[in-house]
Structure 1
Amino acid sequence: MRPGLRRLFLRAVSTDNEAQFADGVWETRCLHCRTRLQVAADGEPRGSASLEHVIPRAWFSKRSARPLIERVGGDPDDARNLAVACTRCNHDKGKGPDARGPLDARAREVVEALLATRLARWREPSGPDGGR
């Protein structure tokens, strides 16, 4: 796995208030279904852990998504927009709400709810990159 992607995984788990680090492994729960997931200390996902961009990267070029985007600092890789999700949930979101776009009321509702969950699980970053 690319080092940059491992850094994004670490950014997501290190700012997740539900994530716990023990014995060289981060353990947290899927943002969607709450399945237990693990990420190694070097950022390598274990099992079915995948990286979730809560507000889809493709939405960052859409004017209609601007109010959501402003909540995460305008950067798709901002720690507030990153979470760990199980592969199944992440794939389903990609086929559904992500694909329909921010003009679709149901898609926007799903993304807003996920963002609220992510922000409720937020903890300030303490690493050298400041969660960015």
Structure 2
Amino acid sequence: MRAALRRRLLQAVRTDALASFAPADGVWRTRCLHCRRALALREDGTAIGSASLEHVVPSAWFGRRAAAALTAQVGEDADDPRNLALACAPCNHGKGASHDARGPGDARARDVVAALLDARLARWREPLGDGMGD
């Protein structure tokens, strides 16, 4: 797994109010943003099982007028931690194949992404100052 992906996964989990770190086994635990399935990451950011990185507002939507209200909530960068979450691979790939692909011009796709963004922002916490690369 690429180092950049591991860093983004760690950004997502460290800013997730549902996430907890167990020093005894060096594992972060949280829940899928979509279905709430249990997910885990090693302390180096390596995904365990089906954990995957979710760009809540799809990267391809940035810079598109129809998505401006959504992207404004997370800044100008698709990799802003507010736009990153953990999702199980089936949910993440399902969203990518349906809602993300239809684009921000599709009202239903915008509604789904807006609801997910609301859920992510409700789970937001400032990055933990735990000396683990924040």
Counterpart CA distance in 2 for 1:95 and 1:17 is: 28
Question: Does 2:69 correspond to 1:72?
Answer: no
In the TM superposition, what are the counterparts of 1:39-54 in structure 2 within 5 Å? 39-54=41-56
Match of 1:19 in 2: 19
TM-score (normalizing by structure 2): 0.94
Q: CA deviation at 1:41?
A: 0.2
Counterpart CA distance in 1 for 2:120 and 2:69 is: 16
Q: Following superposition, which runs of at least 4 residues in structure 1 exceed 6 angstroms of deviation?
A: none
Tell me the matched-pair count. 130
TM-score (normalizing by structure 1): 0.95
* Alignment gaps of 5+ in structure 2: none
Q: Specify which of 81, 85, 88 is matched with residue 86 of structure 1.
A: 88
* Alignment gaps of 5+ in structure 1: none
Counterpart CA distance in 2 for 1:44 and 1:102 is: 31
Superposed CA RMSD: 1.1
For each residue in 1:59-103, what CA deviation from the matched residue of structure 2 results, as whole angstroms up to 9, or x when unmatched?
013121111111001110000000000000000000111000001
